Amino acid sequence: MRQHVLLFARQSCQRVTNKGSNQCTKTHWFGTVGVAFFCIMLSGCGWQLRGIEALQQKNILTQVTPITLNLNLVKRNPELLQIFNNINSLNNIHFDNSARHTLTVHTVDIDKRHLAVTETGVAAQFLLTVTLSYSVSVNTAKTPARQYTLTSRRDYDFDATQIVAKKQEEQALISELYEELAQQTLLHARLLTTDTKTP
């Protein structure tokens, strides 16, 4: 931004010179510098305002009404449980075994498939798919709650000469998919628990 403003000032000076003046007058130069300084100040204020707006958007979820859920993972999954515990406060959701609503994670399936192979038949690219099924129920309900399914995917290149690094990349992608699905699950659980029609 500052570079554009200084360029504008230099071009303004040149335009005055081309009109017949031997040099850019002090008055015009000071005026141009003043305009440039004003533009720089505005650009700085604009940056601060955008930063404040981004911060407000980031804190939207923490401003909503807090809710309490009982979290139940049917199959033991320490990594997914840790992710739920890490992000629940960001959604203003608290886990409590005595809560009226229970969020049950029924299944978490990981599927890994070949997307591409090399000329020699060695895998060159994989597709990771994680599918999570869950339900949100009222503890006093007599009928089973409806189950929902979420799916998320990532693809990555594979290099047989870097097996350890690629294994670490694969695990990082799985964690990323877990976090994405957990976030979507909590957002949906919030909607379901605040819906007066929830059985």
Residue 137 tokens, joined: 């129920």
pLDDT tens-digit readout, 92-116: 899 999 999 999 999 999 999 988 8
Q: According to the model, what pLDDT value does residue 195 have? A: 64
91 or 189: which leads in pLDDT: 189
Q: What's the confidence (pLDDT) of residue 197?
A: 45
Q: How many helices (H) and strands (E) does the chain have?
A: 4, 5
**Dihedral-angle region of residue 92 (phi above 0 means left; psi in -120 to 50 means alpha; beta otherwise):** left
Which is higher by pLDDT, 71 or 45?
71
The reported pLDDT for the residue numbered 109 is 97
Q: Is the pTM of this model over 0.75?
A: no
Average pLDDT of the chain, as a whole number: 76
The ranges assigned to domains in the chain are 2-58, 67-193
Superfamily of domain 67-193: Lipoprotein like domain (3.30.160.150)
Give the span between the Cα atoms of 78 and 84, in whole angstroms: 10
- Gap between the Cα atoms of 85 and 104, Å rounded: 14
Mean pLDDT of 63-85: 92
- Contact between 190 and 198 under an 8 Å Cβ cutoff? The reply is no
pLDDT per residue as tens digits for the range 27-41: 444 455 454 454 444
